[in-house]
């Protein structure tokens, strides 16, 4: 029995939630898929704890999370608070981190920090553990602390979740993502809520972003479910960031 199989056995002994771990090993680095058969918590906590205890975290290059459309009160949350408490740079070889995005889910998937609904800066804390991270996909927008330190991230796929946390404004001002090449961003998408537009990113925020000049490698932007109409989009096309792009696409709810 190898170390991953031992971890799987330990989790089975300590958690009732059904799950599966798929993995491959190349050049002494793991690609791991963690699939929760129920809601994301609490099995995620147990998984991270045993990874840490057995020193496997230092040997992971790609880490992908999946879960069934299960949850409580319409929410399926991945609480990363315990991971945020781990030592800095503990995932020293991790290049890709993927959490599931929301498509037609009944239960909204979100990232939280010791809370049922709020992110509370936990994403920014977690990426400090990942000094070579290049690819990040998450179903919640990170707080401002996400931008406080330089990161080698090249690709960002971010859904707003329950709050955009001024992500676009913060991205417009940051100098910490100079390696960013592609951005996918889903604005607030709780369309069933009355006046949901008030929770969306403002048009002015997108204008700020496209007026910025400190994302030198950014070449592709795809925006979903925004307040940008055709006139707004045409205005963006005259701004500095647009002029460096190779591909720009806005896909709004019809």
Residue 143 belongs to domain spanning: 3-251
H-helix segments, the chain = 3-14, 43-53, 81-84, 122-127, 167-173, 203-210, 230-236, 240-244
Quick one: pLDDT at residue 1? 61
Quick one: pLDDT at residue 9? 84
Residue 84 has pLDDT above 90, yes or no: no
Residue 35 has pLDDT above 80, yes or no: yes
Q: Which of 3-7, 87-91, 224-228 has the lowest mean pLDDT?
A: 3-7
pLDDT bucket at 160, cuts 50 / 70 / 90: very high
Quick one: pLDDT at residue 40? 58
Quick one: pLDDT at residue 42? 58
Percent of the chain with pLDDT over 70: 94
Q: What is the DSSP string of 168-236?
A: HHHHHH-SS-TT--EEEEE----TTSTTGGGGSPPHHHHHHHHT----TT--EEEEES-S--HHHHHHH
Cβ atoms of 4 and 21 within 8 Å: the answer is yes
Quick one: pLDDT at residue 254? 63
Neighbours of 42 (CB within 10 A): 15
For 106-153, the pLDDT digits (tens) are: 778 899 888 778 999 999 999 999 999 999 999 999 999 999 999 999
Nearest to 130 by CA among 83, 167, 169, 162: 83
Percent of the chain with pLDDT over 90: 60
Residue 226 has pLDDT above 90, yes or no: yes
Quick one: pLDDT at residue 39? 62
Quick one: pLDDT at residue 30? 94
Residue 72 has pLDDT above 70, yes or no: no
For 166-184, the pLDDT digits (tens) are: 999 999 999 999 999 999 9
Give the number of domains in the chain: 1
For 22-34, the pLDDT digits (tens) are: 999 999 999 999 8
Mean model confidence pLDDT for the chain: 89
CATH number, position 214: 3.80.10
- Mean pLDDT, range 220-238, rounded to an integer: 97
Q: Are strands 29-36 and 96-98 parallel, antiparallel or unpaired?
A: unpaired
Question: What pTM did the predictor assign?
Answer: 0.93
Residue 37 has pLDDT above 70, yes or no: yes
- Dihedral class, residue 83 (left if φ above 0, else alpha if ψ from -120 to 50, else beta): alpha
What separation in angstroms does the CA of 131 have from each of 37, 86, 125, 156?
A: 30, 14, 12, 15
Residue 48 has pLDDT above 90, yes or no: no
Quick one: pLDDT at residue 41? 59
Cβ atoms of 52 and 83 within 8 Å: the answer is no
56 DSSP assignment: G
């Amino acid at each position: 029995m190898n170390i991953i199989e031992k971890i799987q056995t330990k989790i089975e002994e300590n958690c009732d939630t059904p799950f599966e771990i798929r993995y491959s090993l190349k050049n002494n680095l793991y690609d791991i898929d963690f699939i929760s058969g129920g809601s994301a918590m609490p099995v995620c906590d147990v998984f991270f704890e045993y990874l840490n205890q057995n020193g496997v975290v230092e040997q992971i290059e790609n880490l992908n999370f999946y879960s069934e459309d299960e949850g409580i009160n319409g929410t399926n949350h991945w609480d990363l608070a315990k991971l945020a408490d781990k030592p800095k740079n503990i995932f020293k070889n991790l290049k890709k981190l993927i959490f599931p995005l929301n498509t037609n889910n009944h239960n909204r998937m979100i990232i939280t920090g010791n809370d049922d609904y709020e992110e509370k800066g936990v994403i920014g804390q977690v990426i400090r553990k990942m000094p070579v991270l290049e690819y990040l996909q998450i179903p919640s927008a990170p707080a401002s602390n996400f931008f406080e330190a330089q990161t080698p991230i090249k690709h960002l796929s971010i859904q707003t979740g329950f709050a955009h946390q001024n992500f676009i404004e913060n991205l417009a001002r940051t100098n910490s993502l100079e390696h960013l090449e592609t951005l996918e961003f889903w604005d607030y998408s709780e369309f069933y809520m009355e006046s949901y537009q008030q929770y969306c990113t403002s048009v002015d925020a997108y204008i700020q972003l496209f007026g910025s000049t400190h994302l030198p490698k950014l070449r592709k932007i795809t925006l979903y479910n925004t307040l940008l109409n055709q006139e707004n989009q045409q205005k963006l096309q005259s701004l500095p960031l647009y002029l460096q792009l190779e591909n720009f696409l806005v896909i709004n709810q019809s």
